[in-house]
Amino acid sequence: MTTLIPVLGDQLSHALSSLAGQDKKTCVILMAELDEETAYVPHHKSKMAFILSAMRHHADDLRSAGWTVDYVKLTDPENSGSFTGELARALERHSASAICVTEAGEWRVKAMLDSWADRFDVPVEIRADDRFLCDHAEFESWAKDRKQLRMEYFYRDMRRKSKLLMDGDAPAGGQWNFDAENRKPAKRDLAMPQPLHFAPDDITQDVIHMVEAKFATNMGQTAKFGFAVTRADALKQQAYFLKHALPPFGDYQDAMLTDEPFLWHSILSPYLNTGLLDPLELCRAVEAQYQAGKVPINAAEGFIRQVIGWREYVRGIYWHAGPQYVESNALGAERPLPEFYWTGKTDMHCLSQTVDQTIAYSYAHHIQRLMITGNFALLAGINPVDVHRWYLAVYADAYEWVELPNSLGMSQFADGGMLASKPYAASGAYINRMSDYCSSCRYDVKQKTGPKACPFNALYWEFIARNEDRLRKNPRMAMPYKNWDRMAETDKVALRRQAQQFLETLG
């Protein structure tokens, strides 16, 4: 009586629900490197190297913990290329009589897992993924009957539920949210922390060679690969972050600096999303730093809000919105993604900085994703599916459940406001306020028209004008439309012409 337990690439947790209560002597864990998973988008080379190496290390860890692990490599000549195909082969190999699996993290793979009960002659148990604070039923009951879904109210419930940063029934520090204190521009500081660099061991080097050979044309470099690929190393990055980057994290959460890809961010999302780190354990460690007086409330709250607020909220939205969410295009944006998203070759300094570091590290922090690459795509009217597929491909932390609501919902407003109350659209002035990018750009952020004018300026007003029918009634857009209404007709025409001329250069 053997139970087969497929463990997917984002299920690298020892406390995974499918392993709970199992008898190690009668179970075989199946892990497989698959064509289907490496090809659903053209993943960044470092993203692939990270996931495949973390899978190989996790298989070894599980073996050390007494599990039997059947691991199929991408180069195995018999490899069928899909979860279902590998499960069929493994069922035979092990004469298994049952399958137990933790639910999938996305609609595509969920459909696959749901088909197994009909397809195979053995019972299939699909267990809930309990690595999240809020399960599907709880989110549905929270969302039911609400006219608008807003993260802030959901987040307060998660604070109450987890008891994180709570003084009895009240929020620690007297406020739920210290966001207003999290918007300071940063100055270059020689003592700025840099994330730990984990030199690739033999396993990682093998994976990197394979990825470089098999996916030579994919975006991305592996030369600077330094991700942790084990839980032990991911915990080292967690400890490093708590000590060195968390204290100023709150102040500089929205800041951007030239040639500083990481600033005071945690660089923990790849580990949280593969399961190497546990979100609640991390948040409790952050809370302990606050309670010990080592970090201010705006840092602790700001960080915990991202994890039990935004991260849980976007997952809730993903499953609540259904598999057709990906088709949303509320602003009717149809322009194809410009080539420079893949190459970094653009004379807009903010964009080349963000894309170049994405190519080098498979990482960009939130404000770069939202207010540089996301904002540009929104203003230029890029097709949201193209934008979504780009984000899903290029970041080491990208899985559809977390990437899609962030890209399509938060950054492109393609869901018409299901996730966010207004579009995150901004002109060059915002980028200039929050970064030092503009001082070394060939464009002048203060100019709105003419050959040196920052493209974000005219594009911003073009966005406002183009979407007037859809956005004017949004109360949070009242100010931009008031300013637009005040503008002289000749200025409006000049701005729109400037934007059109620029858009034509995108091809």
Name the site residues for ligand DLZ (rule: CB under 6 A): 8-10, 32-34, 37-38, 43, 48, 51, 104-106, 109, 399
* Binding at 391: pick from ligand SF4, ligand DLZ, ligand FAD, none (beta carbon under 5-8 Å per type): ligand FAD
- The H or E element containing residue 68 is strand 68-72
Radius of gyration of the chain (CA): 24
Minimal distance in Å, beta carbon 329 to ligand DLZ?
23
267 near ligand FAD, rule: CB under 6 A: yes
Among 391, 437, 461, 463, binds ligand FAD (CB under 6 A): 391
| Nearer residue to ligand SF4 within complex by CB, 67 or 460 | 460
| Nearer residue to ligand SF4 within complex by CB, 275 or 428 | 428
Both tokens of 57, joined, read 């290390």
Among 441, 458, 459, 499, binds ligand SF4 (CB under 6 A): 441
Q: How many CB atoms lie within 10 A of CB 16?
A: 21
Q: Characterize the bridge pairing of strands 124-127 and 166-167.
A: unpaired
* Binding at 437: pick from ligand DLZ, ligand FAD, ligand SF4, none (beta carbon under 5-8 Å per type): ligand SF4
* Binding at 321: pick from ligand SF4, ligand DLZ, ligand FAD, none (beta carbon under 5-8 Å per type): none
12 near ligand SF4, rule: CB under 6 A: no
Q: Characterize the bridge pairing of strands 166-167 and 170-171.
A: antiparallel
Site for ligand SF4 in 336-355 (CB under 6 A): 348-350
How many angstroms separate the Cα of 55 from the Cα of each of 12, 20, 266? 7, 19, 22
Closest CA to 377 of 489, 459, 440: 459
Q: Which DSSP symbol is given to 29?
A: E
- The H or E element containing residue 167 is strand 166-167
Contact by Cβ (8 Å): 126, 8: no
Among 13, 357, 411, 427, binds ligand FAD (CB under 6 A): 411
Q: Which DSSP symbol is given to 267?
A: -
Contact by Cβ (8 Å): 391, 401: no
Minimal distance in Å, beta carbon 256 to ligand SF4?
10
Piece of 183-191, 406-414, 459-467, 482-490 that binds ligand FAD (CB under 6 A): 406-414
Minimal distance in Å, beta carbon 411 to ligand FAD?
4
454 near ligand SF4, rule: CB under 6 A: yes
CB within 8 A of 26, min separation 6: which ones? 1, 2, 3
Both tokens of 169, joined, read 């029934």
Among 106, 397, 415, 436, binds ligand FAD (CB under 6 A): 397
Residue 432 one-letter amino acid: N
The residue assigned the tokens 């607020």 is 309
282 near ligand SF4, rule: CB under 6 A: no
Contact by Cβ (8 Å): 427, 460: yes
DSSP annotation string for 121-152 = SS-EEEE--TTSSS-HHHHHHHHTT-SS--HH
| Nearer residue to ligand DLZ within complex by CB, 41 or 445 | 41
- The H or E element containing residue 435 is none
Question: In whole angstroms, what is the distance from residue 265 CA to residue 354 CA?
Answer: 15
Residue 378 one-letter amino acid: L
Give the SS3 label for residue 28. Answer: strand
Site for ligand SF4 in 348-387 (CB under 6 A): 348-350
Q: How many CB atoms lie within 10 A of CB 167?
A: 9
Minimal distance in Å, beta carbon 74 to ligand DLZ?
7
Question: In whole angstroms, what is the distance from residue 489 CA to residue 497 CA?
Answer: 12
Instruction: Give just the sign of the alpha carbon dihedral 87, 90, 91, 97.
Output: negative
Among 12, 124, 242, 268, binds ligand FAD (CB under 6 A): 268
Contact by Cβ (8 Å): 331, 462: no
Minimal distance in Å, beta carbon 311 to ligand SF4?
28
Nearest residue to ligand DLZ, scored by beta-carbon proximity = 9
Piece of 25-33, 429-437, 463-471, 484-492 that binds ligand SF4 (CB under 6 A): 429-437
| Nearer residue to ligand FAD within complex by CB, 18 or 266 | 266
| Nearer residue to ligand FAD within complex by CB, 407 or 467 | 407
The residue assigned the tokens 């030092």 is 436
448 near ligand SF4, rule: CB under 6 A: no
**Phi then psi dihedrals of residue 5, to 5 deg:** -120, 95
Piece of 94-102, 140-148, 224-232, 305-313 that binds ligand FAD (CB under 6 A): 305-313
Piece of 61-69, 87-95, 327-335, 364-372 that binds ligand FAD (CB under 6 A): 364-372
| Nearer residue to ligand DLZ within complex by CB, 109 or 454 | 109
Among 104, 208, 380, 445, binds ligand SF4 (CB under 6 A): 445
374 near ligand FAD, rule: CB under 6 A: yes
Binding site for ligand FAD (CB under 6 A): 265-269, 272-273, 303, 306-307, 310-311, 314, 365-366, 369-370, 374, 391, 395, 397-398, 402-403, 406-407, 410-411
Q: Which residues bind ligand SF4 (CB under 6 A)?
A: 348-350, 428, 431-432, 437-438, 441, 443, 445, 454-456
